[in-house]
Amino acid sequence: MKRSLYFIFLLFLLGCSAQPRPQIKGFLTITDDLGRTVSLGNAPVRIISFAPSITEMVYALGGEERIVGVTAWCNWPPQAREKTGVGDMINPNFERMVSLKPDLALMIGSAPSPLLKKFEALDIPVLCFKDETVADIQRALKVLGQVLECPSRADSLNREMDLQLAVIKTAVDQVAMEKRPKVFAELGSSPLFAAGDSSFIGQMISLAGGINITGNIPSSYAAVNPELVVKNDPGIIIVLHPQASRKEIEQRLGWQNVPAVRNGKIYPGLDQDVILRPGPRFTEGLKILHGIFYAP
């Protein structure tokens, strides 16, 4: 009896694996940012986006109807909040993801995540994008344009970005390096968290014409000693987290002579999503930063 149950169970397993795979008609074959070759049989219509920046891109390309799931962090555009939440890449709600029957997952990262491998094991195609530079953003838009069957829309968004980048670059190029403002970007206050040049915000600062005083820290983001801020005399402090107020920063021990504090050039309450998110709105963030750095 027991043995026959085993046998039935084995048959059941065989049956599962012997299911015919969906016929690939060859809608699109793409090599993603991790160098993986991904073939899509049909144009995807049930997409899960695993990053707020990617969600924004899909909306900007007009593909919102094809999105079935988003992360807990996808808050822009506001309608994106109405989509089904699937947790995030660190705490994914895997059952809900699978129950959405996605035909494509869009992820970010520079290495395959455990989640990506789970999706691969389920034969759900995954495209993984890097999100570290402006070039990454534009390449992601281009790829998504192909996936969502609107390449011309992607091209025009990229052209618009190039145009706005050029405007700011022209303005910045006129300022000699030593005349550019020294900027401290605060990403957390206990401990004090700062960004290096390799981070996206590090690149935003230099594109907007500032000099990141913590640019030389070896990782993208790191806890730093408040001494570093005092030593490097930033003329501007941008606060990219909700914990610190202008008053709290002004009262910090030893910060009274920092030029930014002395001259009241502390900027809390900035739209972090626009400035920190490597998405289609980054040029808006760039304009905000440039406006702060070169305020009259």
Partner 1 sequence: MRRDIKAWYYLAPLSLLTILLGLASGPAGFGLLADHQVMSIRLPRVLLGLLAGAGLASSGAALQAALGNPLAEPYLLGVSGGAAFGAALALLLGLSAGLGGAVGLPLFSLAFGLLALYVVYSLSKVGSRLPAETVILSGIIVNAFFSALIMLLLALAGRQLQEMIYLLMGNLGMIFGAQSLYLLWVCAAVIILCTAYLWSQGRNLDLLSLGEQPAQSLGLKVEKLKVRILLASALMVAAVVSLAGVIGFVGLVVPHLARMISGPKNSRLLPLSVVLGANLLVLADALARTIAPQEIPVGVITSLLGVPFFIYLLRRKKRTAL
| Binding interface with partner 1 (CB under 8 A) | 91, 188-193, 216-219, 222-228, 230-231, 241, 243-245, 248, 251-258
Q: How far apart are CB 184 and partner 1 at their closest, in Å? A: 13
Q: How far apart are CB 252 and partner 1 at their closest, in Å? A: 5
Nearer to partner 1 by Cβ, of 27 and 221: the residue is 221
- Cis? peptide before 191, omega within 30° of 0: yes
Q: State the residue for tokens 């750095």.
A: 293
Q: How far apart are CB 241 and partner 1 at their closest, in Å? A: 8
Tokens of 200: 């996206």
Q: How far apart are CB 256 and partner 1 at their closest, in Å? A: 7
Give 3-state DSSP helix, strand, coil % of the chain, rounded to 5.
45, 15, 40
Nearer to partner 1 by Cβ, of 126 and 249: the residue is 249
Cα separation, 247 vs 45, whole angstroms: 49
* Cα torsion angle, 161, 162, 168, 172, sign: positive
Nearer to partner 1 by Cβ, of 5 and 253: the residue is 253
Q: How far apart are CB 182 and partner 1 at their closest, in Å? A: 15
Q: How far apart are CB 222 and partner 1 at their closest, in Å? A: 4
Nearer to partner 1 by Cβ, of 42 and 189: the residue is 189
Q: What is the largest CA-CA distance in the chain?
A: 87
Residues 189 and 151 sit within 8 Å (Cβ to Cβ)? no
Cα radius of gyration (the chain): 23
Cα separation, 293 vs 296, whole angstroms: 9
Tokens of 9: 């169970």
Number of C-beta neighbours around residue 291 at 10 A: 10
Cα separation, 296 vs 42, whole angstroms: 54
Nearer to partner 1 by Cβ, of 28 and 230: the residue is 230
Number of C-beta neighbours around residue 178 at 10 A: 6
Q: How far apart are CB 125 and partner 1 at their closest, in Å? A: 29
Q: How far apart are CB 265 and partner 1 at their closest, in Å? A: 17
Nearer to partner 1 by Cβ, of 191 and 291: the residue is 191
Nearest to 246 by CA among 210, 270, 211, 272: 270
Cα separation, 288 vs 200, whole angstroms: 15
Nearer to partner 1 by Cβ, of 147 and 249: the residue is 249
Nearer to partner 1 by Cβ, of 133 and 256: the residue is 256
